[in-house]
Amino acid sequence: MTAVAPPLPQRFAVRVMVTDVWDQVFLPVEPRTTVAQLKRDALQAALKRSRIDPDAYVVKFRGAEVFDETATLGSLGAVPNAPFIVLPARRQPVR
C-alpha cells in the first residue's frame, strides 16, 4: 500500500527574502499562484514603491533560478513556509 501525500491547503504562507532590502516577507499564496505573481507581490511588500520593474529581478527556489515564471507554486512543489529569494537579475557592484 502506498502512502498518498495530503493535498496542499487552498491558501498557505511562503517566505520570500528580497535581497535589495535584506527583508523577508511572508505572503499568502495558493498552489496555482504563479512565480511571476509571487515576485511582484514580494517586491511590492518589501520595497513599498509604486514603480518597480519586476523584469529586473529573478526568483530562486531551492537554490536554483526559476526560469519559467509562468510555473505555479504547486508545480514547483512549494509547501507552507517554503523559502524563496528575489534578487536583482544583474549583480550589484560592491562599494
Residue extents of the structural domains in the chain: 12-88
Q: Which three cell numbers stand for residue 39?
A: 515576485
Q: Which three cell numbers stand for residue 78?
A: 512549494
**Of 17, 89, 16, the residue nearest 55 (C-alpha):** 89
Higher pLDDT, 38 or 2: 38
CATH number of 12-88: 3.10.20.90
pLDDT of residue 59: 97
pLDDT of residue 58: 97
pLDDT of residue 52: 87
What are the beta bridge partners of residue 67?
Answer: none
What are the beta bridge partners of residue 25?
Answer: 16
For 11-70, the pLDDT digits (tens) are 999 999 999 899 999 999 999 999 999 999 999 999 988 788 999 999 999 999 999 999
Count Cα neighbours of 55 within 13 Å in the Cβ-side half-sphere: 0
